[in-house]
Amino acid sequence: MFRFFDMPVLHATRLGPSMVRITLAAPDGFVSGGRDQRFKLFFPHPHQDRPVMPDVPDDDWFAAWRALDPSERAVMRTFTVRAQRPGEVDVDFALHGDLGPASRWASTAGPGDRLLALGPTAPDNGGVEFAPPPSARTILIAGDESALPAIGANLESLPPATTAHVYVQIAHDDDRQDLPRDVTWLVRNRDEPLTEAVRKAPPADYAWIAGEAGAVRTMRRHLVKDRGMPRESVEFMGYWRQGSTEETLLAETLAGATPHTPED
């Protein structure tokens, strides 16, 4: 349900101090499941004009990619489809300077820049986690800026009658976005931590939390152990980890997984 797509940049739109939206060309066959749809992007190194990948069938890419020189092979990262329209896919990048290759690339990306994607070819593809049951009347959603693209897409998928309590931690006031539901915005180092906001949140039938792995674990533990929410009613994703670089996390993933579908 995943295959490779060439996805050149169509245009870039700055959303705030810490976020840029990159609109990519979406060839026929790229079919997102919506909501928090994950997929993999492959980036060129600064000295390259396009990502370097092995010339092998799609099913055999992983072992062949790992065998390439790490200083030459494409840089692999997982992202969320923020929105899809005919021929276009929006991907929002959280910017943190030159601390990561994806942020570095996105900060200067422009029309014609080349990316490769391992993307979904059917809506039901295993790369979507946000699935509140029809019986859920109240939803809790919480995350930091790394989860903001998924949060936006998740909120757009909710039925009008569903109540959503939404908490998003951001770096700057100007990182706020116009979303379809009311959001409690928490500016880092000024407002209360995201974990504390979740502790004070009203009861919910279903929860989706994502962002820094340590904070996500704390919030999930509170919801399951302190509040007694069923484990299956709490979806949680650690998108990054404090004190670890993207390369460290990727090395850990490569040591213990074969990511034919986006799971890291």
- Judgement on whether residues 113 and 205 belong to the same structural domain of the protein: no
d(CA 253, CA 15) in angstroms, rounded, equals: 30
Task: Assess whether 169 and 100 both reside in one domain.
Answer: no
Please state, for a pLDDT cut of 90, what percent of the chain lies above it. Answer: 88
Give me 166's structure tokens.
Answer: 């939404």
Give residue 27's domain range.
2-124
Amino acid at 44: P
Q: How many CA atoms lie within 13 A of 108 on its CB side?
A: 9
Rounded to whole angstroms, how far apart are CA atoms 221 and 229? 10
Mark whether 100 and 167 lie in a shared domain: no
pLDDT confidence of residue 253: 66
Nearby residues of 38 by Cβ (< 8 Å), 6 or more positions away:
78, 79, 80, 127, 128, 262, 263
pLDDT at 261: 38
- Does 262 reside within a domain? no
Q: What is the structure's pLDDT at 262?
A: 34
Identify the pLDDT of residue 246.
59
> pTM score, two decimals?
0.92
Q: Are 106 and 20 in contact (CB under 8 A)?
A: yes
Looking at the structure, tell me whether residues 115 and 163 fall in a common domain.
no
Confidence of residue 53 (pLDDT cuts 50, 70, 90): very high
Please tell me what DSSP assigns to residue 202. P
In the predicted structure, residue 66 carries a pLDDT above the cut 60: yes
Per DSSP bridges, beta strands 75-80 and 38-43 are antiparallel
The dihedral sign for the CA sequence 100, 103, 105, 107:
negative
Confidence of residue 46 (pLDDT cuts 50, 70, 90): very high
Strand order in the sheet with 116-120: 2-6, 116-120, 38-43, 75-80
Q: How many domains does the structure of the chain reveal?
A: 2
Mark out the alpha helices in 29-158 (DSSP H runs): 61-67, 101-108, 148-157
Can you tell me the mean pLDDT for 2-11?
A: 97
82 and 53 in one domain? yes
Residue 43: strand pairing partners: 75
Does any domain span residue 252? no
Q: Find, among 231, 191, 224, 253, the residue nearest to 40 by Cα.
A: 253
Q: What CATH number should be reported for the domain holding residue 193?
A: 3.40.50.80
Query: Do residue 88 and residue 6 come from a single domain?
Result: yes
> Greater confidence, 195 or 250?
195
Position 99 scores a pLDDT of 72
- Is the same domain home to 143 and 103? no
Residues 6+ away with beta carbon under 8 Å from 64: 54, 56
